[in-house]
Amino acid sequence: MNGVQEVAGSNPVAPICPFAVNKNIRKEAVVVVDKSCINVGILGWGTVGTGVSKILINQNTLISKNSGIQLCVKKVVKRTLPASREGIELPADCLTSDPAEVVDNPEIDIVVELIGGISEAHSLITRAIQNGKHVVTANKALLAEHGGELFQLAKKHQVSLNFEASTAGGIPIIKTLQESFTANQIQSIYGIVNGTCNYMLTEMNERGVDFADVLTDAQEKGFAEADPTLDVEGIDAAQKLTLLIALAYGVNLSVDQFHVEGITDISQQEIQYAHELGYVIKLLAIAKLTDDNRVEARVHPTLLPERSLLANVGGAFNAVCVIGSAVGPTLFYGQGAGEMPTASAVVADIIDAAKSIQWGVSSPISQAWLSNSETEITVCSIDDIETRYYLRFVVIDRPGVLASIGNILGNHNISIASVIQKEPHGTDTVSLMMLTHKAREKNMKAALKQIYTLEVVKGDAKLIRIEEEVAF
């Protein structure tokens, strides 16, 4: 029987919902929409879309047993037809090349957007929401640019917009920040959230491979795109950081509002010198709450102590360290990309959306995307951060060079912690490495500008920030 059953008192005719019911329903009632099957439409049948359909069809009995939800794959959109996938057999007439058969289909309850990109995905998700459909997406670029608009629209039409797979693949970091950390003030987040860069840096560190060679290797193995710009320039990690910051601090940022730096300038020299100093280089997405209630937001290569757990996250794996006021340090680790890990996160969102339909439960949404007022928390400029630094100068090998550089650093309130000078290799120049104590970024910039005027300094310094206070 389809329809709505309203159950009151101590003799319910349906299982008690373990989630909070819609606040518009009277407290003694549980609303159950009796649907024999929740219909799912998938936009995009690439790697992740294939994984999602495999799980929904091949694990249908397990999903029903564990969640009490019956899910049915109604339509799958693929641009080029016909096609088949190993390990999955779609129902008859399921595959289509027309997205309208999903977003405008009155029989479909949940739309899963996996086509990527921004313009088309934005248009299709908007139509789906306006048609009263719950939406699941893995599209971090879309949410980074249009999150506010889409979540407002979802609220207006009383549907959920779930996005667990948008950040860190199979790691349930979105749900954790939305739900498990609700009673915590998030003090800081440190994330290795781009598997391509982590794979490349791991290979450079462990096998001594140069950047250009390891990029080619990553492309051949499918870890990097033909155009790797979004990954290696740090943009992908920055888009994911905007979502984590919105959930943690209620601040809705765009990528151009904070410092973003990729790994294209990391050479084998820096990898080796970092190792000699007891560090490993990782691309980190960092968010911190400052004492004056501002948020540090930055993405850049970072020196981590070799002993730390984050430094030992290798290959294409992801890890996110979250430090909360009550829970303390926590670490989430797993595969950040790939067919099945990402599909697992997408299916978890589909099940949550199905519960919204079945039980009248609204999925939690960050208030950053729903607030119409200015937030009390502002973004801290990169110039105001304080951290330690690794510096490498190429200088002429003559007496007094270290003193000249040291005096300029000192005049800008930058204290040197240690210095290593390499032997010259058949030229009159040497590499001079320094580790500093904590210093302010704007002081470092001013000092370097003055140091570059010294005739003994050849070219710009290599600068990498150091994070020693990561909990892991």
Catalytic amino acids?
240
Q: Which residue has the tokens 């549907």?
A: 159
DSSP state of 88: B
Rounded alpha-carbon distances, angstroms, from residue 233 to 60, 77, 220, 257, 283? 40, 31, 19, 16, 10
Pair 46, 334: CB distance under 8 Å: no
For strand 110-113 and strand 134-137, is the pairing parallel, antiparallel, or unpaired?
Answer: parallel
Bridge partners (DSSP) listed for residue 279: 305
3-state secondary structure (DSSP) of residue 42 = strand
DSSP state of 162: E
Phi/psi of residue 309, nearest 5 degrees: -65, -40
Chain centroid to CA 384 = 24
- Assigned token pair, 268: 């084998």
- How many angstroms separate the CA atoms of 306 and 447, rounded? 29
Query: What is the torsional sign of CA 333, 225, 212, 397?
Result: negative
Chain centroid to CA 20 = 28
Rounded alpha-carbon distances, angstroms, from residue 298 to 287, 295, 395, 465? 7, 10, 30, 11
Angle at 283 between CA 326 and CA 422, to 5 degrees: 120
Chain centroid to CA 130 = 27
Pair 463, 390: CB distance under 8 Å: yes
Q: Where are the alpha helices (DSSP H) in 59-139?
A: 60-67, 100-103, 119-130
